[in-house]
Structures are given as C-alpha cells and as structure tokens.
Structure 1
Amino acid sequence: MDFVTSDRTQRFVIEPVLGGRAFEDFGDGEGLVWYTVIGVDAGRELVLAGHLLPPFGGPATTALRVTLSAQADGTLVKIRDDRFGILGGDSPVEGWRIVFDGGLRHYLESESANS
C-alpha cells in the first residue's frame, strides 16, 4: 500500500454507513481513523469529516466528498477534499488517486473477474 501512515497497515477500510469510519487497520484493534462518515446517499455519494494531524500536513480539518455517477463504460468517481486550518505538505490529489484509482479500481476489477 502506497498511501498509508504506517508500515504496520494491513488494510485501508471505508465503512459506507452513517457514523462509519475510513481508517487504516494495523491489526489487533490498532490503527488510525482518517474520517467519520457524515453523509450517505447509497450508490451516489459519501461525505466524510476528518482531521489532518501535524505529521501529515496539519493541524487542519478536512471534508471529503466522494461522488459516483454512472457512465456508458463504467462509473465515474469524483473526489472533493476541502481542507482548512494550518496546511502543509503535498496536495492530497495524488494520494486520493492512489487510494481510489489504484486501490479501489484494482479491488473492484479483481472482484468482477472472480464473479
């Protein structure tokens, strides 16, 4: 995994339900929560709120919106990451590309191939 905070990370999880979490799972009940899910429109949109800690470019608050829309050749995923506070470090664009285009796309395509 290229876009995680620890070499102990076993998986990155997004729980797509109100109050769910987006987090790194280190195993044995350990990890790091990135976001809490504050909005769900099933099959269309997830809205998440989180904190950007100083080691990762903060301190700041972040609001992430993941929108899905059907296209003739698949599904278009749009990401909007609004951050406010003391911002440092790199833009989140490449990181989200790794998470969603690399990770999620790879997972969905491998699941589709196994069906």
Structure 2
Amino acid sequence: MSVKINKSLCNGCGNSKESRCMRVCPGNLIYKNKDNQAEIRDKRECWDCAACVKECPRQAIEMYLPVEIGGRGSTLQAQDLGDKIVWKLNKLDGSVEEFNIQNKLWFNSNL
C-alpha cells in the first residue's frame, strides 16, 4: 500500500513547525516541503499504518489499497469526528462506501 497527499487540500496544518501527520508517522517519513505542505520522503518505506490518514484534519491523505486485498486502485480516507472515525472507501468506478468506527480513545475517556 502507499499514501498520497493531495496538495490542493493540504495546508501543512498552518504555520506550526510540525504538521499533525508528521507527529504521528512512526517511520518519520513525512516532512513539510518549501510550500509548507506535507510530503512523504519515500512511499516504499511507508509502514501502511494509516496513522497519517486518520490524523489529517483536511482529509488530504489517502491510502491506496493494493490488488492483493481487492483494492485495484481504490483509496481510503478518514475523518476523525471525535466519537468516531468515518472511513471512506473511494472506488475506481466513482462510488464511495462509508464505514463508521467508534473511536476507542473517546469511548475509554468517558468511562
């Protein structure tokens, strides 16, 4: 799998030194380019953990799903709504499926 950062959506999380995706990437693969946008150093080094996909507040990061798991070029995007994460599966035919996953961090903090 690999991630793609949509430059038309990414604002680098404003003027902060580190974007949110930079902070959560366990492989230290994301940096800010000269245009203050997030960029991945080497897609081949990506761990496919999807941390950056979930963390991006602008849904500017997508993860490609490989053919081996039926992706055939489909992509995943995530939106963290606090109590849940909405995953969007963007299929090649233009259709979109949504999956709502309860955010355990929110859930556990309310016990």
Same fold per TM (> 0.5)?
Answer: no
Q: TM-score range by the shorter chain?
A: 0.3 to 0.5
Q: Greater RCO between the two (CA within 8 Å, min separation 6)? A: 2
Query: Could you state the TM-score of these two structures normalised by the residue count of structure 2?
Result: 0.37
Query: Could you state the TM-score of these two structures normalised by the residue count of structure 1?
Result: 0.36
